[in-house]
Amino acid sequence: MGDIDPLDTSERFTHLRTDGTAQMVDVSEKAKTIRESTAIATVRTTRRVLALLTSDELPKGDALGVARVAGIMAAKKTSELVPLCHPLPLSKVTIDFELLPKAINLLATVKTRGVTGVEMEALTAVTVAALSVYDMIKAVDKHAILSDIKVLAKSGGKSGSWTL
């Protein structure tokens, strides 16, 4: 471990103070850059449900439309849901869908010009959008599965860009 004091968590965990209590990281000195992140979630369901979904015949209505709005709203509320996230001025949130034979992939992309990244906002957006799809289809598939929630890409900031 070199010169790092194993009891001094401030060197290892940015969200902990030296006494081990939680803190919101100070980002006041960081430069504003354009930051973007994309996250994915999968809702596994049946061919029958996907047919109902694409023919607008779900008992609860337009699942994808509701999920899109829910995801956008969730991205804007991330700092209220995840305790140590900074509130960010989001400049763009998109929710897209990829229909597969027995699943729906949901993709959330979030963008800002700020001092911290938007990975948490993208993850929150895609997760709430997937929950909304589940809520809309559960009357016809109580066994649908939400899975594979992860960040696919991020750009901006000092750590640069990466894709999964």
Q: How far apart are CA 47 and CA 50, in angstroms?
A: 5
Q: Which of 19, 62, 135, 148 is catalytic?
A: 135
Residues 6+ apart with CB under 8 A from 141: 45, 46, 48, 49
- Annotated active-site residue 56? The verdict is no
Query: Which residue from 101, 153, 102, 108 is spatially nearest to 127, judged by alpha carbons?
Result: 108
Question: What is d(CA 100, CA 50) in angstroms, rounded to the nearest whole number?
Answer: 8
Active-site annotation, residues = 135
